[in-house]
Amino acid sequence: MYGEVRALDNVSFEISEGELFGFIGPDGAGKSSLFRILTSLLLATSGKATLCGFDTEKDFKNIRNITGYMPGRFSLYSDLSVEENLEFFATVFGTSIKENYDLIHDVYCQIEPFKTRLAGKLSGGMKQKLALSCALIHKPRVLILDEPTTGVDAVSRKEFWELLKGLKSKGITIIVSTPYMDEAQLCDRVALIQHGKILAIDKPSEITKSYERQLFGISSENIHKLLVDLRVYPGVLHAYAFGQTIHYTGKDTTENLDNLWSYLKECGHARLEINPIEPGIEDVFIDLMQNEKLSVEQ
């Protein structure tokens, strides 16, 4: 708690060795506070957390040796070069770049051509790769990455997840947070988190299976008007735009599609299509938010 703010509210979970585990949620959900507690940088108001058997409060020295942490904000030394930063982190942990080079190779080789450049002069994507290299150089058992892909373009995000997959195959446990719901599919298990609470925790495929209602994808020539019309339809529970399709769920589980179809035809929609679709993580997140009345919009 920060004063009266409950950044994390009775959070309980376990992560297995070698797992790639994701905390999925928007800004302010409590992801960073949680990661600071797990890395021994912040004390929990109450409750207990252990990593590889070490208590985050009592055994903080061990915790710091076995974890590699990449904070959300770039926090390397801007006035040291790429290589000097890496050298520094290796030395602090009593190792050398050479000793663990194989572990960082896939990440570091991409920025090695710029190793004499000051860290402060790197592009966003390169800073991120340097930060990951520095978090890995002491061969941590657990890698904790706070929003490594925020503000990163779709192609670079894909590459970054490939790197994580490679690290996982080397036996490192990876705990990662992200506000991009589509990245959930790339994790072994995920926790959906909002307002300090875990809304769901499971394999991504199980989480999407938990969506109880039938979801329909509806499209027409005028997507904005379609959304407006669906919002006032008597049978609507939620209607949200996902690109050029509206994801629609009805209040009644035995939704009469004929009624919906003729309603939308009467509204004048051309090229109307209604198809049953499988929900994604974002659909489930929206649904859970509504259930918990947690959205700021409620």
CB 204 within 8 A of CB 190: yes
Q: Which stretch binds other proteins (CB under 8 A): 87-95, 135-143, 216-224, 265-273?
A: 216-224
Burial of 190 (0-12, 13-18, 19+ CB in 10 A): buried
- How far, in Å, CA of 76 to CA of 73, rounded? 9
Out of 180, 211, 233, 263, the residue judged to bind other proteins by CB under 8 A: 180
Q: Which stretch binds other proteins (CB under 8 A): 44-52, 62-70, 119-127, 210-218?
A: 119-127
Residue found under tokens 């949200």: 240
Least gap, CB of 193 to other proteins (angstroms): 11
Which of residues 63 and 76 has its CB atom nearest to other proteins in the complex? 76
Q: What is the DSSP string of 239-251?
A: EEEETTEEEEEES
CB of 224 to other proteins, least distance (A): 4
Query: Smallest gap, in angstroms, from Cβ of residue 98 to other proteins?
Result: 30
- Six-digit token string for 76: 């390397």
For other proteins, the closer CB: 50 or 150: 150
Coil vs helix vs strand at 277: strand
Residue from 15, 107, 187, 286 in contact with other proteins (CB under 8 A): 286
**Vertex 24 angle, CA 18 and 27, to 5°:** 135
224 binds other proteins (CB under 8 A): yes
Nearest to 44, CA basis, from 11, 82, 16, 14: 11
- Cα–chain-centroid distance for residue 39? 18
Q: Given the rule CB under 8 A, which of 47-55, 101-109, 129-137, 156-164 is the region that contacts other proteins? A: 156-164
| Binding footprint of other proteins on the chain (CB under 8 A) | 25-28, 123-125, 150-158, 179-182, 194, 222-224, 227, 240-244, 282, 285-286, 289-290, 295-297
